[in-house]
Amino acid sequence: MFSGLSSFELLVVLVSIVISMAIHEATHGFVAHWLGDTTAKEQGRLTLNPLKHVDVVTTVLLPMVLIIVGLPPIFAAKPVPFDPDRLRYEEFGMALVGVAGPLTNLALAGLAGLVFHISGAAFGQQFYNALILFVQVNIAFFVFNMIPFPPLDGSRLLYAFAPEPLQEVMRQIEGFGFLGILVFILLVFQFISGPLLGIENFFLQLLLG
């Protein structure tokens, strides 16, 4: 999706990653706060300031390296903290907090897609290409984060409906944190990358035509 990019396009992707990730993480915090948990606010994470959410290695360097070598970009920010015991609706509250981030990315992609269709190339070819890349970044965010594998956001939705034995397995996997995601990428991602790419292309076709 991001292969063969120019220096300008790589810069657009980097800026898109930082902005989209910040909004993604902030939305987790806003929804948790709306559901009664003030943890994010107490720790200064209830903000759109990217510096509060971005991790240099996992948010910027890792996806850029993957893009440069022609692999699908994988993103990870500093997770916004929340206390499940302080959320309303218990497991369903956790699910709402979890899916809020990816759905925000889908909304951002939809908004950029709307501007894309309204403006066309009226603001120049570079702006036109930047909109396309912004949509691609946010669709990649949405699709990857909705995978129901801990600690990805999609696992929160699965957790709300999973039986207790499966919940216990998910808690154990989540305990590995980002290491668990790396293992998932190395062992499982290669088998599902095709379907994931198909889903991404579906949304890109829907939004960009």
Count of CB atoms situated within 10 Å of the CB of 44: 10
Inside any domain, residue 54: yes
Residue 3: pLDDT band with limits 50, 70, 90: low
Residues of the chain with pLDDT > 90: what percent? 43
23-74 pLDDT tens trace: 999 999 999 999 999 999 998 888 988 888 877 777 777 777 777 776 666 6
What's the domain range around 39? 7-208
Q: Which of 138, 36, 127, 135 is nearest to 90 (CA)?
A: 36
Contacts of 55 (CB under 8 A, 6+ apart): 76, 77, 78
Inside any domain, residue 76: yes
> What average pLDDT score do residues 78-98 get?
90
123-156 pLDDT tens trace: 778 888 899 999 999 999 999 899 998 888 999 9
Distance from the first to the final alpha carbon of the chain: 15
Compute the chain's Rg from CA coordinates. 17
This prediction has a pTM of: 0.87
Inside any domain, residue 2: no
Domain count, the chain: 1
Whether the predicted pLDDT of 203 surpasses 80: yes
Inside any domain, residue 1: no
Residue-level pLDDT at 93: 94
Identify whether the C-beta of residue 207 lies closer than 8 Å to the C-beta of residue 135.
yes
105-121 pLDDT tens trace: 999 999 999 999 888 66
Inside any domain, residue 16: yes
